Structure 1
Amino acid sequence: MNLKTLLLGACSALALAGMASAETLTIATVNNGDMIRMQKLTDDFKAKNPGIDLEWVTLEENVLRQKVTTDIATKGGQFDILTIGTYEVPIWAKQGWLLPLDNLGADYDVDDLLPAIRSGLTADGKLYAAPFYGESSMVMYRKDLMEKAGLTMPDAPTWDFIADAARKMTDKANEVYGICLRGKAGWGENMAFLTATSNSFGARWFDENWKPQFDQPEWKKTLDFYVSLMNEAGPPGASSNGFNENLALFQTGKCGMWIDATVAASFVTNPKDSTVADKVGFALAPDNGLGKRGNWLWAWNLAIPAGTQKAEAAEKFVSWATSKDYLKLVAEKEGWANVPPGTRTSLYENPEYQKAAPFAKMTLDSINAADPKAPTVKPVPYVGVQFVAIPEFQGLGTAVGQQFSAALAGQVTVDQALTSAQQLTEREMTKAGYIK
C-alpha cells in the first residue's frame, strides 16, 4: 500500500468520524409560508454551526398539533425543537415539559421582543419559547372589487358593513366570492376565527363559574351571522377551508375579503405568489360596537422539549431562527416586506420595513389591541383571546369546531350545533372538576 492510499484512507476515516459526531436536530414545524422559507435559508445556520445537521418534519397545522402534543405528553423524544403556539407555551412550561431559553446569546436582545408577544411565552419570569412570527387578525380586501361595489372600506369596519360588502362583491358566475373565512374544524382553525369573532358579539366560552355559554343568545347571533354570510357570499366547500386554503383562494382572485392572520399580508401582496398583489387593502378586524374587535393574538414559536439530549445545539438553532440577523437575512434574499412579522419592536421602527410593508402599522396596532386578560365584553375566568388557556381546551375546541363546521356544511342546524357544543363542553368541564 503506497503513501497516497494510506493518506486517502486516513482522510476518509476522519471524514466518517466527523459525520458520526455531527448532531442532527429533528425539528417539527407547520407548513406555513414563513416556515417553508426558513428551511430554504438554513445553509446560513449550517455554515455558522458546521457540527449540526437538521432534519425537518413539516406538517399541516392540525396534524402538527396532534403529533407534537402526543410526543411531549408521552415523553416520546421524537423531536429536539417544536413549533408551538402561544396557547401551549405557558401550560407546557408549568408541566415541566419545556426547557427555559437561558442561553440565546449576548446579542439576541430579548428586551426587543414585543411585550404583547413575549408575555405569552413567559412563565415564572423565564422565556420558554422564542417567537418566530407573531400575529393578530385583520381584514384583507380587494380595493378594486370594493370600488366596483360602490363602497369604501373604513379603517375600523363593523360586521354589518362587512356583511353588506361581501354580498355586493359576490359574483358566483365568475367564481368571485365576497368573503373567505375559516371553516375547517380545529381549535386553531375555525375556532380561532369564531372565538375571536364571538368576543365582538358579546359571547364567551364560560361564565365566571366555568359554566359553558353556548346556550346563550350571543353565541346564537355569532353562529347565525357566520353561517348565513358564508352561505350567501362564501366559496363552495368552505367547511374544508383553513388558513392555507383561503390564502390560495385570495391569491388567485377568488375572494373579495378575507379576515385572517396578519401574517398573511406579505403573501397576498407578493407579486410572485398573488395575482391580486397590487389591489389589496387592509382594515382592522370588525366589531359590533360593544367595545371588542374580532381580532386575536398569536405567535408561532420555537421551543425545546425537556426530553431532548441535544439542548445546547437546539438552543443555537432557536436563537438563529428568531434573531435580528435572521430578519436581515430574509430581507436580503426576499425583501423587507417578507420578513417574519410581529416579534420585534426594532422591526416596526425600521424605516425600510415601514416603506416596504404597507400593512406594518395595521399589524402592530392589531397585536397591541388584543387583550388576552380581558378578551370578552363580559367577565371571564380565563386568559386567551381566540383560545381558553386551560389544558382541556385543545380537545374541547376541536370538538366544538367539528360541530360548527358541520353547521356550515349544512349537516346540522345552527341550533343543533350549539346544543351539542353546550352538552359536550358541560360534560368535559364537569369531568375535569371545573364545574362542581
Structure 2
Amino acid sequence: MMTSFRVKTACALVMGGGAVFAQHGVAAELTIATVDNRDMLRMRELSEDFVAEHSDIQLNWVTLDESTLRQQVTTDIATSGGRFDIVTIGTYEAPIWAERGWLVPIADMPGDYQPEDLLPTVRQALSYQDVLYAAPFYAESAFTMYRTDLFEDAGLSMPRAPSWDFLAQAAEKLSDSDEHYGICLRGKPGWGENMALLTAMANAFGGRWFDEEWQPQLEGGGWRDALDLYLTLLGEYGPPNPEDNGYNENLALFQQGKCGIWVDATVAASAVTDPEASEVADRVGFALAPDNGLDKRSNWLWAWALAIPSSSEQSEAAKRFVAWATSRGYQELVAEREGWSQVPPGTRAPLYDNPSYREAAPYSELVLESLRSANPDDPTVQAVPYRGVQYVAIPAFQGIGTAVGNRFAKALAGDISAEEAIEDAQWVTEKVTEQARFAQQ
C-alpha cells in the first residue's frame, strides 16, 4: 500500500542495534554523509528496513545542503580524516578521487547487485580506468518542464525539442508578475548550481571553457550570447531575486504554480507531478532541453552516487549498505511504499522497460533520451581537451566554477554588468588555470 513520503527534519539520525559484527567482533557503525534532497531523505527513512535485516550494522546520518556536503566531504577525504564511511558524491568527483586513491572500488558487491544493469553512460562517468568507484543512486540529465494549462491559455504549443528562442518568446507571453513568472532558472552561485545551467547553455550556443591548448574561452561569443539571454530571461520574466534561487528553491516555486517554464534536472519530474507535493501535478508537460540550432542541447549528465572512502575502516559493512541502497531491490521497495513514479531514476536500464514505471512516469522516455544523448566526451560544438558536460573534469574546476558563478550571480543581481562579469570570468579562469598547472607546456 502506498504511504505518503515523510521528510524527517533531523540532520543526523542514529538507527540500528548494537549487535556484534561477526567479522570483526564489534558493532559496525557506519557514518553516511548525504545531500538534503527528497530522494536522499527517503533513502534515510527507508534504511530502517536495512537495519532490520542487518542488526549488526548501525547507521549514523549526516545530512547537509549540497555546498556544505561538498566542502566537508572533500576536506575529510583529502586528509584521510576517516569521519565518513560512505559519502554521496557525483560524476565530477568519482574519477578524480579514484585516480588519487581516495576511493574503494565498487567491486565484489554483496547480494544480487547486478552491475550489468547500469546505464553505460552513467557507469562510465563514475569509473576510472573502466573500474566503477561510486554506485549510482540516481542519475539525471536536464530537460524542459512547463505548465500545460498556461501554454493552452496563451495559444502556445511546446515542441518536443524546443529552442532557446522559442522559450524566450513563450516566457514573455506567460509572464504575469501577479500570478506566476514566465520562466524559472538556477541563479544561486555555485559550480553545481548556476554554472551547471550556464555551462550547458554555453555549450548549446557554441561556447566552451577551454580551447584545445587549454586557453580559457569565456570571452567568446557563445558565452556572451548565452549570458545575455540568461540575464534577459530572468531579469524580465523570472522571479524576484533570482540570484537566491537554486534547484531546491525553483522546485518549490514550480510546485506552487509560480513558474510557467523551468529548465532543470530531469530528476525533478517525479516531484512536480507528485499530487501530494505539487499544486500543479496534473498540469505539467515535458520537452527536451532547448538548443540554439547548433546540434547541442542544454542537457547534462550527473549522478548522485554512494562511494566508500579508502580511509574507512568499515569498508565491507559499507559495501553491504551501498549494495542495498543502489539495487533493483531498493527500487522495488520505493515502488511498494511510495509508488513507481518515486523510484530513483536514471541508473538501471530495466527500469525503463518496466511497464509499471513507464505508466507512472510518462516522462521516462524523454529522461532516457536526455541521459543517453549527453556525452561527456563530446560536450561542445567546437573541440575541447576536457571531459564533462556541465563541468570540466579537472581538479581546479571547483575553484574556477565557484568564482565564475559568483561573478555571474552578481550580474544577475545587477551589481555588475554582463561585460564586466565576462571579463572577470576570463581573468579568474586564466589565473586559477595557471596556478593549478594542469596544462602541460
Q: Which runs of 5+ in 1 are unaligned?
A: 1-14
The aligned amino acid for 1:273 is A
Q: What SS does structure 2 have at the residue aligned with 1:397?
A: helix
Pick from 241, 254, 258: which aligns with 1:237? 241
**Residue deviations 1:301-337, cap 9 Å, x none?**
0000000000011000000000000000000000000
Q: Tell me, yes or no, if the aligned pair for 2:203 and 2:222 is still in contact at 8 Å.
A: no
- Structure 1 match to 2:132: 127
- Structure 1 match to 2:6: none
1:344 aligns with 2:322: no
Greater displacement, 16-25 / 231-240? 16-25
Q: What SS does structure 2 have at the residue aligned with 1:134?
A: strand
Pick from 135, 138, 151: which aligns with 1:146? 151
**Residue deviations 1:4-51, cap 9 Å, x none?**
xxxxxxxxxxx9775993222110000111001111101110111111
The aligned amino acid for 2:205 is F
Identity %: 59
- Structure 2 match to 1:218: 222
Bigger CA radius of gyration: 1
Q: Tell me, yes or no, if the aligned pair for 2:19 and 2:57 is still in contact at 8 Å.
A: no
The aligned amino acid for 2:150 is L
Pick from 356, 362, 365: which aligns with 2:366? 362
Q: What SS does structure 1 have at the residue aligned with 2:183?
A: strand
1:115 aligns with 2:130: no
TM-superposed CA distance for 1:216, in Å, is 1.2
- Structure 1 match to 2:278: 274
Q: Distance in 1 between matches of 2:209 and 2:102?
A: 27
- Structure 2 match to 1:9: none
1:178 aligns with 2:182: yes
Considering only aligned residues, what root-mean-square deviation do their CA atoms show, in Å? 1.3
**Residue deviations 1:72-126, cap 9 Å, x none?**
1111111100000000000000000000011212511100000010011111232
- Structure 1 match to 2:292: 288
1:23 aligns with 2:28: yes
The aligned amino acid for 2:195 is M
Pick from 375, 386, 390: which aligns with 2:390? 386
Q: Distance in 2 between matches of 1:148 and 1:168?
A: 10
- Structure 1 match to 2:48: 43
Q: Which is richer in helix?
A: 1
Q: Tell me, yes or no, if the aligned pair for 2:103 and 2:310 is still in contact at 8 Å.
A: yes
Q: What SS does structure 1 have at the residue aligned with 2:260?
A: strand
- Structure 2 match to 1:4: none
What pairs with 1:184-203 in structure 2 (closer than 5 Å)?
184-203=188-207
1:372 aligns with 2:382: no
Pick from 253, 258, 261: which aligns with 1:257? 261
Q: What SS does structure 1 have at the residue aligned with 2:136?
A: strand
Q: What SS does structure 1 have at the residue aligned with 2:282?
A: helix
Q: Distance in 2 between matches of 1:75 and 1:280?
A: 46
Q: Tell me, yes or no, if the aligned pair for 2:18 and 2:58 is still in contact at 8 Å.
A: no
Give the alignment's TM-score, normalised by structure 1.
0.95
1:53 aligns with 2:50: no
Q: Which runs of 5+ in 2 are unaligned?
A: 1-16
TM-superposed CA distance for 1:213, in Å, is 0.7
Q: Distance in 2 between matches of 1:360 and 1:304?
A: 30
TM-superposed CA distance for 1:404, in Å, is 0.6
1:411 aligns with 2:399: no
- Structure 2 match to 1:11: none
Q: Distance in 2 between matches of 1:121 and 1:56?
A: 23
- Aligned length, in residue pairs: 421
Q: What SS does structure 1 have at the residue aligned with 2:330?
A: helix
1:33 aligns with 2:14: no
The aligned amino acid for 1:289 is G
Structure 1 residues 234 and 16, CA gap change in structure 2 (3 angstroms): closer
1:77 aligns with 2:92: no
Q: What SS does structure 1 have at the residue aligned with 2:310?
A: coil
The aligned amino acid for 2:318 is A
